[in-house]
């Protein structure tokens, strides 16, 4: 089970990546950044973020991570 501290660090990385690159990182890029060799480990953290309401994922799309705060800003 992923720890909340690491999940939040990954979330902050994703936010920074989106701010710098205009798109979300891939699962592989997240794994590389946090020295995780298993894509399943990254996915567990992403599921935790979804449960916390921080992100939404678009299935079957590379870089299919959407920040919920970003969506709220666009809708306003």
Task: Let me know: does 58 contact 47? Beta carbons within 8 Å.
Answer: no
pLDDT number for residue 2: 80
pLDDT number for residue 72: 58
Q: For residue 8, give Cα distances in angstroms to 2, 38, 44, 67.
A: 10, 18, 13, 13
CATH of 4-75, one of 1.10.10.10, 3.30.70.260, 3.40.50.150, 3.10.20.30: 1.10.10.10
Task: Let me know: does 55 contact 11? Beta carbons within 8 Å.
Answer: yes
pLDDT tens digits in sequence order for the chain, 76 residues long: 789 999 999 999 999 999 999 999 999 999 999 999 999 999 999 999 999 999 999 999 999 999 997 655 555 5
For the chain, give percent helix, strand, coil, nearest 5.
Answer: 60, 10, 30
Residue partners of 29: CB distance under 8 A and separation at least 6? 17
């Amino acid at each position: 089970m992923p720890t909340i501290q690491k999940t939040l660090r990954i979330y902050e990385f994703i936010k920074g990546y989106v701010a710098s690159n205009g798109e979300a990182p891939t699962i592989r890029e997240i794994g590389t950044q946090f020295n995780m060799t298993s894509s399943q480990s990254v996915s567990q953290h992403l599921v935790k973020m979804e449960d916390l309401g921080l992100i939404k994922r678009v299935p079957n799309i590379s870089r299919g991570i959407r920040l919920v705060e970003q969506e709220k800003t666009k809708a306003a």
